[in-house]
Amino acid sequence: MKVTADFHVHSYYSRDSVITFPLLVEWCKRSGVDVVAIMDHDRFEGAVEFKRLSEDRRSAGLWAPKIIPGQEIRTTRGEICGLFLEAYVPGRLPPDETMRIIRSQGGLVYVPHPFDILKIKRLKASELVELSNLVDIIEVFNGKPRFPAANLLARRFVQKHPYTLAAGSDAHEPTKIGAVRVLLDDFDTPDELMRSLGNARIEGKMYSPFGSALLRLYYRKKYSVVTA
Ligand SMILES: [Zn+2]
């Protein structure tokens, strides 16, 4: 069976996101997203909570997207994400150390928006190549890069370097969930995901960070969402 996954979504545990669990369920359903990786900035409680709530709903016979617990971790050289994490990963460590912690939990190392060159701290292409033994997945398409050509640069990079590819909306607002998505064979484990990504289709559209900030204000007001 094919599923649609968004590998980069922030819950309201990220201070710049307004996505609560009920809004996640509503908008995943509306946009046909079956699997979501929760990637909060330097926090892991949201991923744990959303996974539990999703499992509760599903065991009650209600629909909810499947949740992959993840985290977007600030390292000394920019952000690195982990997928299928078991526990919080501490921040501000060198990237290789962060990657080893992710791997030691049985997780997958996912490099988000690798060529968003307007971010001051980030891994350079040469560093990414040096670390390739520790990298599982490159995010080749991000919904909201600060630098508009970042996704093109990422595409060009992976043409020369054989990484496994995935993508995510980087949604901080419910309506952006699934803006960038991956169509792939259903999976449960990290190994199955790596296999499925070998034969996946990435699609979607970029959206503006400015529009996204306005939308966030609207949601904060309408649903009184405060950071958890
Ligand atoms: Zn993010």
Closest CA to 223 of 181, 180, 173, 188: 173
Closest CA to 177 of 41, 18, 16, 1: 18
Whether the Cβ atoms of residue 204 and residue 181 lie closer than 8 Å to each other: yes
Q: Is 7 exposed, middle or buried (0-12, 13-18, 19+ CB in 10 A)?
A: buried
Instruction: Measure the CA angle with vertex 4, ends 206 and 15; round to 5°.
Output: 55
- For residue 79, the CA-to-ligand 1 centroid distance in Å is 9
- For residue 208, the CA-to-ligand 1 centroid distance in Å is 14
- For residue 169, the CA-to-ligand 1 centroid distance in Å is 8
Question: pLDDT at residue 120 above 80?
Answer: no
User: What tens digit of pLDDT does each residue of 131-141 get?
Assistant: 999 999 999 99
User: What tens digit of pLDDT does each residue of 71-91 get?
Assistant: 999 999 999 999 999 999 999
Across 46-54, average pLDDT: 98
pLDDT of residue 227: 86
User: What tens digit of pLDDT does each residue of 101-113 get?
Assistant: 999 999 999 999 9
pLDDT of residue 119: 79
How confident is the prediction for the chain on average, in pLDDT? 95
pLDDT of residue 28: 98
Whether the Cβ atoms of residue 19 and residue 177 lie closer than 8 Å to each other: yes
- For residue 9, the CA-to-ligand 1 centroid distance in Å is 7
pLDDT of residue 224: 85
Pick the CATH number of 2-223 from 3.20.20.140, 1.20.1070.10, 3.40.718.10, 3.30.499.10: 3.20.20.140
pLDDT category at 148 given cuts 50, 70, 90 is confident
- For residue 143, the CA-to-ligand 1 centroid distance in Å is 10
pLDDT category at 57 given cuts 50, 70, 90 is very high
Domains of the chain by residue range: 2-223
- For residue 38, the CA-to-ligand 1 centroid distance in Å is 9
CA 60 to CA 69: how far, in whole Å? 21
